[in-house]
């Protein structure tokens, strides 16, 4: 492969960058998996942490829509929070429970989740290029026996690349609209969206939505 040739020639910059990217993606994976996604711990913390966001939304939401108490946690749910049955916690700005990381994606770890997907996509694309550069096709059984592992790796990388790319694109689209996966999928069931004057009361334009999310 290209990386192997560069390593044999003593050109270690690109192999080192590739290894560092892989290491970065692994560290981001564990960070996103193990960190608090934004659990609602008490009424005081929830109200203090979401006061600014709620005051921004109230003009577009009828006053009849109130903060409700979670039937599982018995805490007052801030707007956009939801109880996760798997984590057994209410999560602020709940997006979804990700089986890849075995954790919720919420207010605190959502930006890092996007960073993880981005780094992972770069690693997969580069890994796919490396695997392809090591393949020299010949119509013989011996060639297939010597290259079967590399060939399978390439096809697996292609599949995972498509999955990660679609996931990243969908999340970036939702972020640009200032909505979450849960709100997008369950719009008709959520009181503060169902009774809102606007289809999405949180949308403040693409630039401001991205700025608020990442910065």
Residue with the bigger pLDDT between 62 and 215: it is 215
Burial of 80 (0-12, 13-18, 19+ CB in 10 A): buried
How far is the C-alpha of 76 from the C-alpha of 90, rounded, in Å? Answer: 9
CB-based contacts of 82: which residues, under 8 Å, 6+ apart? 90, 91, 94, 182
User: How many Cα atoms within 13 Å fall on the side-chain side of residue 182?
Assistant: 20
What pLDDT is recorded for position 190?
A: 83
In contact, 145 and 151? CB cutoff 8 Å: no
| List 73, 87, 98, 177, catalytic entry | 98
Count: domains in the chain: 2
pLDDT bin (cut points 50, 70, 90) of residue 150 is: confident
Which domain range does residue 21 map to? 1-34+108-177
d(CA 42, CA 201): 26
* Residue 190 in domain: no
Shared domain for 101 and 117, answered yes or no, is: no
pLDDT tens for 190-209 read 888 877 777 888 889 999 99
Residue 72 pLDDT class (50, 70, 90 cuts): confident
The answer to whether 70 is a known catalytic residue is: no
Residues 133 and 28 both lie in one domain: yes
Is 102 part of any domain? yes
- Split at pLDDT 50, 70, 90, the class of 66 is low
Q: Do 100 and 161 lie in a common domain?
A: no
pLDDT at 60 over 80: no
Structure tokens at 91: 């999560």
Domain match, 118 and 28 both: yes
- pLDDT value of position 4: 78
Residue 206 lies in a domain: no
* pLDDT tens, position by position, 73-113: 888 888 889 999 998 889 999 999 999 899 999 999 999 99
Confidence check: pLDDT of 54 > 50: no
In a domain, 129, yes or no: yes
């Amino acid at each position: 492969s290209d990386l192997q040739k560069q390593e044999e020639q003593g050109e270690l910059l690109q192999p080192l960058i590739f290894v560092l990217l892989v290491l970065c993606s692994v560290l981001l994976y564990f960070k996103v998996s193990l960190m608090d996604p934004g659990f609602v711990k008490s009424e005081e913390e929830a109200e203090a942490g979401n006061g600014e966001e709620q005051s921004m939304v109230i003009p577009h939401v009828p006053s009849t829509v109130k903060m409700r108490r979670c039937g599982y946690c018995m805490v007052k749910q801030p707007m956009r929070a939801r109880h996760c049955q798997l984590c057994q916690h209410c999560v602020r700005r709940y997006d979804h429970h990700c089986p890849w990381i075995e954790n919720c994606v919420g207010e605190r770890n959502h930006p890092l989740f996007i960073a993880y997907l981005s780094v992972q996509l770069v690693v997969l694309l580069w890994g796919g290029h490396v695997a392809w550069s090591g393949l020299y096709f010949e119509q013989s059984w011996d060639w297939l026996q010597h290259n079967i592992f590399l060939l399978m790796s390439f096809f697996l990388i292609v599949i995972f690349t498509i999955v990660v790319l679609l996931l990243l694109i969908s999340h970036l689209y939702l972020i640009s609209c200032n909505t979450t996966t849960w709100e997008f999928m369950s719009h008709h069931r959520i009181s503060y969206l169902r009774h809102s004057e606007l289809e999405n009361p949180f949308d403040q334009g693409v630039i401001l939505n991205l700025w608020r999310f990442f910065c």
